[in-house]
Amino acid sequence: MKRTGALALAMLIAACNSGSDSGRAGRPGNGAGLAAEGDAHDTAATLALAASGPGNCSARWDGQPATTQQVLDRSAAAVGQAIDRAGGIANLTEETLPALAVTAPADLAFACADSFLAPVRRAGVATLLLSVEGGPEAALADFTLSDIGAPPPSVVLAIGAGGRLTWNGEAVALGALAERVRQLSGAGAAEMEAPAGELEIRPAREATFGQVHAALRAVREGRIRAALLLPSVPPNRLPAPTAAPPPPPAPANQAAPRP
């Protein structure tokens, strides 16, 4: 099943924003063109995060300081320009949607990243390429739809304080994550496709940007396109339940219950 969540999210939010001036203002930025392993995405702009400024959390949009409101406005502008180029919301495709490159130090608290990524999501940008300063290749993720009515994920990969990982509540090591993901997706897939039901990454505010990036990279090695649920977005949908095993048969000499 090909993933259509990113497109659906952008179309839904873009439709709500299409009457606003912010959807048509500004310029697209200088597109960093970062690529995750197995992916090639042009980016509308680069959002660089840092532990500086008020609250030890700041952002620069294509090199210029930006507030959360400016990030919202510029993200909405990128979506609006994509709609104009496509000739309308109905003509958008995953290839024509804007993606945003996001860079940050590995030790940046994800609470800081959340404060700037939340307005990016709210504007309708659905795809991110996250990279650690001075680190390996970017890792691709789409914002999840599980909080607004999409089918629940089959796997929730939670990232807690200290980078502790749990797979549907079961502790899992980072080094074992890619193989587990391959078992979920089926090795040898020719394309990056999500399995039936999404794998959703849910980082805690206490996690770091580097820990989230490492988990995303491991998931990508397993050939699954991950969905990202920000800490500020309530997880309204639980993982899809697995079928319970049938109860064991009663012993042959057990008396039947009285009516």
pLDDT for 142-193, tens place per residue? Answer: 898 766 667 778 899 999 999 999 999 999 999 999 888 888 766 554 454 5
Number of neighbouring beta carbons within 10 Å of residue 197: 17
Q: Is residue 124 part of a domain?
A: yes
Looking at residue 123, its pLDDT comes to 92
Q: Confirm whether 244 is domain-assigned.
A: no
For residue 147, which amino acid is it? Answer: D
Asked if 223 contacts 185 with a C-beta cutoff of 8 angstroms, the reply is: yes
> Residue 185 domain-assigned?
yes
Number of domains in the chain: 1
pLDDT of residue 58: 98
Assigned domain for 247 exists: no
Q: How far is CA 235 from the centre of its chain?
A: 13
3-state secondary structure (DSSP) of residue 34: coil
Residue 245 falls inside a structural domain: no
Q: What is the pLDDT of residue 71?
A: 97
- Cβ-contact 199, 165 below 8 angstroms: no
Q: Is residue 255 part of a domain?
A: no
Per-residue pLDDT at 179 = 87
Provide the domain limits for residue 46. Answer: 5-228
Task: Report how far residue 68's alpha carbon sits from residue 101's, in angstroms, rounded to the nearest whole number.
Answer: 16
Q: Kindly state whether residue 242 falls inside one of the protein's structural domains.
A: no
3-class secondary structure per residue, 105-170: CCCCEHHHHHHHHHHHHHHCCCEEEEEECCCCCEEEEEECCHHHCCCCCCEEEEECHHHCEEECCE
Q: Which residues of the chain fall below pLDDT 50? A: 1-6, 14, 17-38, 189-190, 192, 195-196, 240, 242-246
Residue at 22 is within a domain: yes
